Amino acid sequence: MITDADGDIIFRNENGRCPFLTDENLCKIYAQAGEKYLCRTCDMFPRFINDFGSQREYGLGLACPEAARIIIDSSSKSELLSEVTPEPPTPNDIDADFYFEMLRMRKDIFSLLNDNSRSVKEILAELLEKCKEKSGKSLSRNPFDLLHSLEVLTNDWQEILNRSSELNASEYGDKFRNIAGYYIYRYFLLSVFDGDYITKLKFCVFSCAVINRAAAVLGLHRAAQLYSKEIEYSAENLSDVFAALKETDCENIINFL
C-alpha cells in the first residue's frame, strides 16, 4: 500500500496491473471476500454521478467492457428514467434558468438522435452546424493530432495513434446513436457549471469521430471502451482534450466526420 499525490492510500501496481487481478482479469478481493470489501474506486467503477443540486444523475461509463456492450448494443431509444428520493438537495450556485434551458436542449438532442429517418453522421454534423458562428478560432491541424500529445495508457491505443494517418472514417451505423447519446447524457448538462455547452457538443462529435476510425482496427466495442479509458478516465487527458476543442472551429470537427 502507498499514499498517492492526493493523500489517498492505494495499491501499488505490479507491471501496470492491480496486484489483486487474477490471470483471467478477475478481482481476487471480490471473489474471496465479497463485494463489500471492494475499495472505493472499484466499488464505483464504471458508475458515474453528476450532481446538480436537486437532481442527481447516474450512469455507466464506456471504459468498462461490459458497460460498453450494454450501452452500444441497446436497441431502446435514449430516454431518462427518474425517481424521487428523500435526500435533501445539494447546495449550489447553478443558474436555474440556464439549467432548465440546458435540460430542454438536451431533450431536443435526444429527439434528434432517436430519429431513425436520418443518418447519425447527418445529425452529428447538424449539432455543430448550429454552433459554427460561436465556435472560436480555426485550427489548421487535424483534430486527431491532439491525441498524440496525451498520456498513453495501453499498447492498443498506441497502435491507433501510430496508424491514425491511415484511418479513414467509415459508415456511422445506428449503434453510434447510443454512443453519441452516452456522451450527450454524461457531459452536456455539465455546461451549467461553466456555460460552455458548445465545447460539450464538440466533445461528443469528436469522440464519435475518433471511435469510428479506431473501430476499423479494434472493432466498435473495443474502440469505444479503449477511447473512454484513455480519455475520460484520465483527468489530465480529458482536461487537455476539452481545452483543445474549446479553441477548435466546429468546421474542423465536422470535416473530421
In this structure, the answer to whether residues 56 and 37 fall within a common structural domain is no
In this structure, the answer to whether residues 37 and 74 fall within a common structural domain is no
Residue with cell 447510443: 178
Instruction: Give 235 or 42, the one with higher predicted confidence.
Output: 235
Please give the pLDDT value at position 133. 52
Please give the pLDDT value at position 191. 94
Rounded CA gap, 127 and 15, in Å?
43
In what helix (H) or strand (E) does residue 28 lie, and over which residues does it extend? Answer: helix 28-32
In this structure, the answer to whether residues 24 and 113 fall within a common structural domain is no
In this structure, the answer to whether residues 129 and 230 fall within a common structural domain is yes
Rounded CA gap, 55 and 99, in Å?
11
For 50-54, 186-190, 230-234, which range has the lowest pLDDT when averaged over its residues?
Answer: 50-54
Which segments of 114-219 does DSSP mark as H helices, in order?
120-129, 155-162, 175-187, 197-218
What residues contact 149, with CB distance under 8 A and at least 6 apart? 240
Rounded CA gap, 146 and 209, in Å?
13
What is the domain count for the chain? 2
Domain range holding 198? 46-256
Please give the pLDDT value at position 16. 66
In this structure, the answer to whether residues 29 and 144 fall within a common structural domain is no
For 133-142, 145-154, 212-221, which range has the lowest pLDDT when averaged over its residues?
Answer: 133-142
In what helix (H) or strand (E) does residue 50 lie, and over which residues does it extend? Answer: strand 47-51
Q: Which three cell numbers stand for residue 42?
A: 472499484
In this structure, the answer to whether residues 67 and 179 fall within a common structural domain is yes
Instruction: Give 132 or 27, the one with higher predicted confidence.
Output: 27
Three state DSSP letters for 171-199: CCCCHHHHHHHHHHHHHHHHHHCCCCHHH
In this structure, the answer to whether residues 112 and 229 fall within a common structural domain is yes
Q: Which three cell numbers stand for residue 93?
A: 450556485
In this structure, the answer to whether residues 22 and 78 fall within a common structural domain is no
In this structure, the answer to whether residues 36 and 53 fall within a common structural domain is no
In this structure, the answer to whether residues 24 and 90 fall within a common structural domain is no
In this structure, the answer to whether residues 50 and 33 fall within a common structural domain is no
pLDDT band at 142 (very low <50, low <70, confident <90, very high): low
Rounded CA gap, 75 and 77, in Å?
7
